[in-house]
């Protein structure tokens, strides 16, 4: 990454982990949220925003998608509206975003894509705590792995970060305190535990890393 010139596009960077990532490179980051006038669930909104972005910055070096609403309800206790919202927030927005932005990165034959899932969704086991949220994130992981294969020949890497219990102002702290006893490292993670991994994935040192799910959860057994 050219520290002086390369631009980073963060979708969903208005708070929490996304805002912390944006703070790493404040002069080289563009953040898209509904508050900035970009609705990632709406392809036309994304396309218009990306056209404006390219007029200012050309094609981004990195795309980071970190949108994802959370809900702790069992499968049989999830109403249709909640189900659809969870998939729209966690999966549809990522799908629309990569379809809008990644083709330009492929044309440029360079770039990094980071998507966010959740710890445990790539394992062969059920997750009772928030099953429909985890189902959406599991679908995102499969999409990311497939995308990594599609764009590898163009020199674009695609990886997934899967956080466990990470404390920030918008995190679900009651849930975290309930589960921290299941973390072998004995603590809830902090935002830097995630942002330093982002820094690595955007560095030259990670140029040969693609199609991976990198879990940051202290060994969570949940």
Catalytic residues: 133
Residue 159 near residue 215, CB atoms below 8 Å = no
CB atoms < 10 A from the CB of 96, how many? 22
d(CA 213, CA 118): 10
* Cα torsion through 90, 142, 45, 23, rounded to 10: 70
Residues recorded for the chain: 222
**The tokens 């990454």 sit on which residue?**
1
Nearest one of 175, 50, 56 to 104, comparing CA atoms = 50
d(CA 161, CA 212): 8
d(CA 195, CA 166): 11
């Amino acid at each position: 990454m050219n520290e002086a010139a390369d631009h980073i596009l963060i979708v969903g960077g208005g708070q929490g982990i996304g805002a912390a990532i944006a703070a790493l490179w404040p002069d080289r980051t563009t953040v898209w949220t509904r508050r900035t006038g970009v609705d990632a669930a709406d392809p036309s909104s994304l396309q218009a925003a990306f056209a404006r972005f390219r007029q200012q910055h050309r094609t981004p070096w990195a795309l980071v998608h970190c949108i994802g609403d959370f809900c702790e309800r069992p499968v049989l206790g999830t109403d249709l509206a909640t189900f659809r919202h969870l998939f729209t927030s966690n999966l549809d927005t990522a799908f629309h975003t990569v379809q809008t932005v990644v083709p330009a990165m492929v044309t440029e034959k360079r770039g990094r894509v980071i998507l966010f899932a959740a710890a445990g969704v790539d394992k062969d086991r059920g997750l009772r705590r928030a099953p429909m949220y985890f189902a959406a994130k599991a679908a995102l992981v499969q999409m990311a792995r497939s995308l990594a294969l599609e764009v590898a020949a163009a020199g674009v890497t695609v990886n997934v970060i899967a956080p466990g219990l990470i404390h920030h102002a918008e995190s679900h702290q009651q849930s975290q305190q309930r589960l921290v006893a299941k973390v072998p490292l004995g603590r809830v993670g902090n935002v830097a535990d995630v942002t330093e991994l982002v820094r690595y994935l955007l560095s030259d040192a990670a140029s040969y890393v693609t199609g991976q799910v990198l879990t940051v959860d202290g060994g969570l057994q949940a």
